[in-house]
Amino acid sequence: MARKDDILKSLLTHELLESKYELKKEEIPSTIREALNSDKPIIKAIALIVEALEKSPPATDNELRNSILQYLNTAI
């Protein structure tokens, strides 16, 4: 498993996300690619963040903020 997949899984299995967004273990994707195709906005938003921060060179804070805001505005 790639490092970014491990990071994603670690974030998505956090108890706060599981309780607040009612994520079930079987709904949690195992790879970034699966997460980016998720129909759940929280999963896709976290995947976008991990993907942007793990690319070389990593996205700047401003680029990342704009990307996430753009996605969330279209997803809602």
- pLDDT digits 0-9 by tens, 35-76: 999 999 999 999 999 999 988 898 999 999 999 999 999 987
Name the DSSP letter for residue 27.
G
* CB contact at 8 A, 68 and 49: yes
For residue 1, the model assigns a pLDDT of 65
Map tokens 């299995």 to a residue.
13
User: With bands split at pLDDT 50, 70 and 90, how would you rate the model's confidence at 24?
Assistant: confident
For residue 55, the model assigns a pLDDT of 87
For residue 18, the model assigns a pLDDT of 85
Which is nearest to 40 in space by CA: 13, 76, 9, 73? Answer: 76
